Amino acid sequence: MMQNVHKSLAAKIVFSFLAILFLTHCIGFAQEGSVIKDVDILEKQKTVLMQDYPHVFTEVEIKDVQKINSRHSKVIYEKGNQQYEAVVNSGRKDMLLVATSRVMNEKEMPNIVMDVFKRSKYKNWNIEKTFEVTTPYSSEFYRIDVSKKNKAQKKKKTKSIFYTHLGQYKKPPY
Q: Report the half-sphere exposure of 30 (CA within 13 A, side-chain side).
A: 28
Q: Among the residues of 28-139, which ranges form H helices?
A: 38-52, 54-57, 111-118
* 17-34 residue pLDDT tens: 555 555 444 444 433 344
Question: Is 158's pLDDT higher than 80?
Answer: yes
106-170, what's its fold? Nuclear Transport Factor 2; Chain: A, (3.10.450)
pLDDT of residue 40: 54
pLDDT of residue 98: 86
Phi and psi, residue 141, nearest 5° = -145, -175
In the chain, ranges of CATH 3.10.450.360 domains: 106-170
Nearest to 160 by CA among 31, 69, 74: 31
Give the pTM: 0.69
Could you give the C-alpha distances from 44 to 11, 39, 50, 156, 164, in angstroms and in order? Answer: 9, 9, 11, 33, 38
Q: Among the residues of 53-147, which ranges form H helices?
A: 54-57, 111-118
When mean pLDDT is compared across 9-13, 102-106, 144-148, the lowest value belongs to 9-13
CB 13 within 8 A of CB 41: yes
Per-range mean pLDDT, top range of 37-46, 48-57, 115-124: 115-124
pLDDT of residue 67: 83
Nearest to 133 by CA among 19, 31, 46: 31
* 52-74 residue pLDDT tens: 556 655 677 888 888 888 888 88
Choice between 74 and 116, residue whose per-residue pLDDT is larger: 116
What is the pairing mode between strands 126-135 and 138-150? antiparallel
